[in-house]
């Protein structure tokens, strides 16, 4: 099966990291983080995944409406 790898830039990662800091500890949608970062919502999803992989942020599920609709809170790891 083919995999698609989306590369994110360091600038995008810094922008999203700053946006996560403003919403730290709150249950927040990716769209809200994207609005704060002034980036495309889909792009922010990939940046968040990269930041989680790099160990810069931690994602904690807080609300599970159903298996596909889950809200998370994000925490910056110092």
Strands (E), 3-56: 27-28
Average pLDDT, the chain: 93
Tally of CA atoms within 13 A in the half-sphere of 12 that contains its CB:
18
- pLDDT per residue as tens digits for the range 39-52: 999 999 999 999 99
Q: Where are the domains of the chain?
A: 10-76
- Residue 45, classed as helix, strand or coil, is helix
Tally of CA atoms within 13 A in the half-sphere of 36 that contains its CB:
17
Considering the entire predicted model, what is its pTM?
0.88
- pLDDT per residue as tens digits for the range 56-75: 999 999 999 998 889 999 99
Rounded Cα–Cα distance for residues 67 and 3 (Å): 23
User: Which residues neighbour 50 within 8 Å (Cβ) at sequence distance 6 or greater?
Assistant: 8, 13
The CATH architecture assigned to 10-76 reads: Orthogonal Bundle (1.10)
């Amino acid at each position: 099966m083919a995999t698609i790898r989306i590369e994110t830039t360091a600038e995008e990662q810094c922008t999203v990291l700053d946006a996560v800091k403003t919403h730290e500890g709150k249950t927040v949608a990716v769209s809200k983080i994207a609005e704060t970062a002034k980036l495309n919502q889909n792009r922010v999803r990939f940046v968040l995944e990269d930041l989680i992989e790099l160990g810069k942020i931690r994602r904690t599920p807080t609300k599970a409406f159903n298996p596909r609709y889950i809200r998370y809170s994000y925490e910056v790891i110092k």
